[in-house]
């Protein structure tokens, strides 16, 4: 095999390796996803989130104790309520925004937003 053929084979092997490596890289997951009538919140940080408060459309709230680092929480939209105990109806009300408020064990505030909230 000539030297020129070996060089081209090496180049093509590098290109093929790079393409395979790119295919193996996962896209980063979204922090907040609305799926099948539920809100999925992913904690992609290295800190646990404590005292979680989730606001849907600025008026409907839900809460939780914690989401571990690298973990997630899934809450049905029907569990979110207003201050007057009105339940969110995912069939008739579209989700316009979701805001997650929490704190880390060190007391640092966490705020993750999906959509365009008005208040939070």
Q: Round to whole Å and give the CA distance between 23 and 80.
A: 39
Give per-residue pLDDT as tens, 76-111.
999 999 999 999 999 999 999 999 999 999 999 999
Total count of domains within the chain = 1
78 in a domain, yes or no?
Answer: yes
Give per-residue pLDDT as tens, 24-82.
666 678 999 999 999 999 999 999 999 999 999 999 999 999 999 999 999 999 999 99
Q: Give residue 13's pLDDT.
A: 80
CATH number at residue 48: 2.60.40.2890
Radius of gyration of the chain (CA): 22
pLDDT over threshold 80, residue 20 = no
67 in a domain, yes or no?
Answer: yes
pTM of the model: 0.77
13 in a domain, yes or no?
Answer: no
Q: Give residue 25's pLDDT.
A: 64
88 in a domain, yes or no?
Answer: yes
Q: What is the mean pLDDT of residues 3-29?
A: 77
16 in a domain, yes or no?
Answer: no
Q: Round to whole Å and give the CA distance between 117 and 60.
A: 12
Q: Give residue 24's pLDDT.
A: 65
96 in a domain, yes or no?
Answer: yes
Show Cβ contacts of residue 97 under 8 Å, excluding neighbours closer than 6 positions.
55, 56, 57, 58, 113, 114, 115, 116, 117, 118
Banded pLDDT at 19 (limits 50, 70, 90): confident
68 in a domain, yes or no?
Answer: yes
120 in a domain, yes or no?
Answer: no
Q: What is the domain extent for residue 41?
A: 32-115
User: Residue 87 gets which letter from DSSP?
Assistant: B
């Amino acid at each position: 095999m000539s030297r020129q053929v070996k060089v081209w084979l090496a180049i093509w092997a590098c290109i093929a390796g790079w393409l395979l490596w790119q295919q193996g890289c996962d896209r980063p997951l979204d922090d907040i996803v609305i799926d099948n009538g539920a809100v999925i919140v992913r904690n992609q940080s290295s800190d646990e989130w404590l005292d979680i408060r989730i606001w849907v459309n600025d008026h409907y709230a839900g809460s939780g104790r914690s989401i571990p680092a690298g973990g997630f929480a899934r809450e049905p939209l029907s569990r979110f309520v207003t201050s007057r105990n009105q339940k969110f109806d995912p069939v008739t009300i579209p989700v316009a925004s979701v805001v997650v408020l929490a704190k880390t064990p060190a007391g640092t505030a966490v705020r993750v937003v999906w959509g365009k909230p008005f208040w939070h």
